[in-house]
């Protein structure tokens, strides 16, 4: 199984060894990008529950802070896993990573229970620089949101949104109360904040 245990757990070692191992892992970016970033749980009809994030989730965020262009090297499925991990870190009670296909436009489903229940869906667009999310993409998510009966929808992209998209007359009434648009800059800031969160 290598120097890490199952799901990225580290065996006991001195702090100097941990720092050296972490630096070596960060230098070996291709290897790091292949590692699991979430701990999968039970399967549900909608997908696979996310139990926790792994050490590589934090290490990828550290690399993104050093070099934001790395965002365009992660494959789309890895981004879906990173976003699912973000919901888990944010304290949602149930986070589901949907299958690669047949997800009905929902890549991540997150549920928070309290006085009531809030159900959030997130559609992840791992686009390269200059490939902008269009108004039609966002309108399609509104349809998914209505069909799912979720409380709120997020469209998260590594890139950005077409100019004037938030002013679109068909979308403006839903932003940000029912629909939130997260571009690459906001995404990286949120991941950094969640990675720094204790617990």
> In this structure, what token pair is assigned to residue 159?
């890139």
> Is there a domain that residue 79 lies in?
yes
Residues 6 or more apart whose CB falls under 8 angstroms from that of 50 comprise 38, 39, 40, 41, 84, 85, 87, 88, 95, 96, 97
d(CA 22, CA 108): 29
pLDDT at 151 over 60: yes
> Is there a domain that residue 2 lies in?
no
Contact 50, 34 (CB under 8 A): no
> Is there a domain that residue 1 lies in?
no
pLDDT at 194 over 80: yes
Closest CA to 153 of 126, 119, 184: 119
Domain range holding 162?
A: 7-196
* Confidence grade of residue 6 (pLDDT, cut at 50, 70, 90): very low
> Is there a domain that residue 34 lies in?
yes
Averaged over 19-35, what is the pLDDT?
60
> Is there a domain that residue 120 lies in?
yes
Count of domains forming the chain: 1
* Confidence grade of residue 36 (pLDDT, cut at 50, 70, 90): confident
> Is there a domain that residue 183 lies in?
yes
State the first-to-last Cα distance of the chain, in angstroms, to the nearest integer.
Answer: 26
> Is there a domain that residue 97 lies in?
yes
> Is there a domain that residue 67 lies in?
yes
Higher pLDDT, 101 or 21: 101
CATH classification of the domain holding 59: 3.40.1350.10
């Amino acid at each position: 199984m290598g120097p890490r245990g199952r799901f990225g757990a580290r065996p006991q070692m001195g702090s100097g060894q941990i720092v050296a191992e972490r630096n070596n892992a960060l230098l070996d970016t291709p290897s790091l990008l292949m590692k699991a970033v979430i701990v999968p749980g039970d399967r549900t009809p909608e997908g696979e529950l996310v139990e926790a994030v792994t050490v590589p989730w934090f290490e990828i965020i550290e690399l993104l802070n050093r070099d934001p262009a790395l965002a365009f090297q992660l494959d789309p499925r890895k981004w879906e896993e990173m976003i699912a991990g973000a919901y888990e870190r944010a304290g949602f009670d149930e986070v589901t990573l949907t299958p690669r296909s047949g997800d009905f436009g929902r890549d991540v489903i997150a549920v928070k229970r309290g006085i009531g229940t809030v159900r959030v869906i997130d559609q992840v667009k791992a686009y390269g620089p200059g490939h902008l999310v269009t108004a039609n993409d966002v309108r399609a998510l509104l349809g998914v949101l209505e069909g799912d009966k979720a409380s709120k929808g997020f469209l998260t992209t590594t890139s950005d949104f077409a100019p004037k998209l938030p002013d679109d007359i068909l979308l403006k009434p839903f932003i940000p109360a029912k629909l939130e648009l997260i571009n690459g800059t906001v995404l990286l800031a949120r991941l950094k904040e969640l990675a720094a969160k204790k617990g």
